[in-house]
Amino acid sequence: MTDSPSAAAKQFVAVDVHYRDEGGARAAMVAARDRRFATITSTRIATVPVVAPYQPGEFYLRELPPLRAVIPASGDLGLVIVDGYVDLDPDGRPGLGAHVHGEWHVPVVGVAKTAFRSATHAARVFRGRSSRPLFVTAAGMTMTDATRLVSEMSGQFRVPDALRLADRLARDLPAR
């Protein structure tokens, strides 16, 4: 998958949310101008003091408010990579990524580190030397393109560097 000239003007973001022990959540966004996230162009962090309680199957109710605080609303947004699933089963039960896709109207790729029992449709992507797969789902692009994108994202480890950085920033850890 290559970036077209029109895609070069787009902003691609990877996001993550961390729930704080003292309450609330801290969200992080890592942005690049290329789909591989070879060069990070900016980051954004926001703390949301109150979040909805966890409800099985409705995780998006907790995640969307912090993500709204970091995902740019500008028209140059071209792709969002979320730590999680786009849809939760082969019938399309919406997960976090589906709600992000519905709100920002751009392609969304879900990259989950653990299997979700009903997400039997998720593509398994092996990166680096890991024997453990990532579970990839997508909205607004084909699964073939989504798996290729995740396979080609920068970083030599199982989790792409952009998602690792978003996770560290959300946890308020040094970027390394």
Q: Is residue 51 part of a domain?
A: yes
In the chain the beta strands, taken as DSSP E runs, fall at 11-19, 25-32, 40-48, 77-82, 108-112, 123-125, 134-139
Angle between the N-to-C axes of helices 60-70 and 96-104, in degrees from 0 to 180, rounded to the nearest 10: 40
- The domain that holds 30 is classified in CATH as 3.30.2170.10
Q: Is residue 86 part of a domain?
A: yes
Q: Is residue 175 part of a domain?
A: no
CB 31 within 8 A of CB 11: yes
H helix intervals, 24-95? 60-70
Domain that holds residue 13: 5-170
- Taking only the tens place, the pLDDT of each residue in 2-43 is 444 444 569 999 999 999 988 899 999 999 999 999 999 999
Amino acid at 30: V
d(CA 111, CA 150) in angstroms, rounded, equals 8
pLDDT of res. 5? 42
Q: Is residue 109 part of a domain?
A: yes
Q: Is residue 176 part of a domain?
A: no
Q: For the chain, how many structural domains are there in total?
A: 1
| pLDDT tier, 150 (very low <50, low <70, confident <90, very high otherwise) | very high
- Taking only the tens place, the pLDDT of each residue in 67-112 is 999 998 878 999 999 999 999 999 988 999 999 999 999 999 999 9
pLDDT of res. 171? 94
Q: Is residue 102 part of a domain?
A: yes
Q: Is residue 89 part of a domain?
A: yes
Question: For residues 143-174, b (16+ Cβ closer than 10 Å) or e, as one string?
Answer: eeebbbbbeebebeebbbbbbbbbbbbbeeee
pTM above 0.85, yes or no: yes
